[in-house]
Amino acid sequence: MNNFKVTIGKHKNKNYINVYVNNSRKRFWNGRSIGVDIDSQENPELLKAAFELKLRDGWIPKLKKVSKKKSLETVLDSIEEGIKMKITSRCSERFIKDAKRIKKLWIKYENENCIKGLKLEDLNKHHIKSFLIRPNWSAKTQRTVKSTLSAIINCFKPNLISSVKLKKPLSSLHKPIIDLNNLLNEIKEYNNNLYICCLLTYGCLLRPHREIRELKWKDFSSDLSQINLSGHRNKSGRNRIVPVPLYIREQLIKGEPDINIFSNQTESFKEEYFKTLWSRFKKVSTLLEDGQTLYSFRHTGAIDIFKRTGSITKLQKAMGHSSINVSLTYLRGLEVGELKEEDMPVL
């Protein structure tokens, strides 16, 4: 074999051996790959000669295959690649589910507008705007779809999606519950799981459709006085320590650590579980008022904290907001490590 060359290189005052075969190079810092105990720092000339001898005898170094990066020619390619990247970076299951839905929506959009296989380089503001702004989508849905789409293709087409401006959705005001105890009693008679969910939404200010639905007994302290949720289990992304009031603890019978508190199985009920229960309860309730939702219990609990503690700071901490105005109108988040049980809503 004559089509090779061996040289001595240097990097940061350290010697190494360059082996060139068919215009491909590989570096060696010692002779282990050819079965000799020579270090490039101790005797580079001898190691160079050993490699030359091995190459003349027919030895060929294993060269790394340079894999060509997949060319993302179409918008659909970039969406699929973006989803793979998000899965690799361990984004939440909810986000991955939303991202896969975006893929389906984009395929449908291309088919409906006869632009199947739209090139990534041809993607423009008009496409994004017509994809997002639809008569049957609320302003909130449009913004949710926009943020998800941006997260999965922004690295391929920077700033394009953010340049599309959408109408700001109106904040939903979940009407507070005045006749709380009677409503809770009505819910308890209807379905105990829904009753426990409403208690936790009101008394612990947790969100019903994920944070509460996915609760397992291991999320509670041994005496059931606290709930501990890690950042990946809640919308805020922060660890949360939630005091559990006595009136809730009295309704709980602790089970095995890995068992879901509602399903009595290791797996929780499906995402629509409480939404479906609430919709059915609304049809038979004699106490519910228009505008009252499951989240109204959370809104009512926040108001109770504020009225009894007189502390906007505690309310803001409880809801996890940067703006006090948001805490008073549109309840999101929770960070209650500094709250005590006596600060939580009472019945």
pLDDT of residue 3: 76
pLDDT of residue 55: 86
| % pLDDT > 70, the chain | 84
pLDDT of residue 154: 87
**Rg of the chain over CA atoms, in angstroms?**
30
Pair of tokens at residue 120: 């990534």
Q: What is the pLDDT of residues 168-205, one digit of tens each?
A: 766 555 678 989 999 999 999 999 999 999 999 999 88
pLDDT of residue 80: 92
Q: What is the pLDDT of residues 255-308, one digit of tens each?
A: 999 999 999 999 999 989 999 999 999 999 999 998 899 989 988 888 888 778
pLDDT of residue 330: 42
- Contact, 275 vs 192, CB < 8 A? no
Boundaries of every domain in the chain: 4-56, 75-163, 180-343
Q: Which three-class secondary structure string do you get for 106-139?
A: HHHHHHHCCCCCCEHHHCCHHHHHHHHCCCCCCH
User: What one-character DSSP code corresponds to residue 109?
Assistant: H
Question: How far apart, in Å, are the Cα atoms of 293 and each of 247, 278, 338, 345?
Answer: 22, 8, 28, 18
Alpha carbon distance 29, 37 (integer Å): 11
Using DSSP's 3-state secondary structure scheme, residue 220 falls into strand
Highest averaged pLDDT of the listed ranges 18-22, 105-109, 232-236: 105-109
User: What one-character DSSP code corresponds to residue 225?
Assistant: S
Prediction pTM value:
0.56
Q: Nearest CA to 171 among 138, 201, 205, 149?
A: 138
Q: How confident is the model at residue 65 (pLDDT cuts 50, 70, 90)?
A: low
| pLDDT over threshold 80, residue 211 | yes
Q: Nearest CA to 178 among 327, 297, 283?
A: 297
Topology given in CATH for the domain delimited by 180-343? hpI Integrase; Chain A (1.10.443)
Alpha carbon distance 24, 21 (integer Å): 5
pLDDT of residue 335: 36
Mean per-residue pLDDT of the chain: 84
Q: Where are the beta strands (DSSP E) in the chain?
A: 4-11, 14-21, 24-28, 226-229, 240-243
